[in-house]
Amino acid sequence: MLSKMRDGVDLTGWLVLNVLAAGRRRLREALARPLRDHRGQTPTEYLMIVGLMAVVIVTAFVLWFWPNVQGPLQQWVKNVKDSILGSSIK
């Protein structure tokens, strides 16, 4: 009888260890799947390139063209402000 109990415990332990090993394998595969998946990579790369180009264009505009645009832009802002406040209405 002691032998049958020991075999039952060994079998139960073996089953538990196999279930835990299978769960560990599934968890490892689930965690590794996003690292192997490259489906969204290209749109992200395009967005990063467009963002970098925007930064370069804005920087170039501010450094070289801002003095030429500053006067007319300030006049335009003044006209919009006067229109909103109604100060130009007579």
Question: Where is pLDDT greater, at 68 or 39?
Answer: 68
| pTM for this predicted structure | 0.39
- pLDDT tens column, 16-31: 888 888 888 888 888 8
- Contact (CB, 8 A) for 88 and 82: yes
| pLDDT in the model for residue 2 | 46
- Contact (CB, 8 A) for 83 and 77: no
Q: How many C-beta atoms lie closer than 10 Å to residue 6's C-beta?
A: 10
Which residue ranges make up each domain of the chain? 2-85
- pLDDT tens column, 49-70: 999 999 999 999 888 888 888 8
| pLDDT in the model for residue 48 | 93
Question: Where is pLDDT greater, at 20 or 10?
Answer: 20
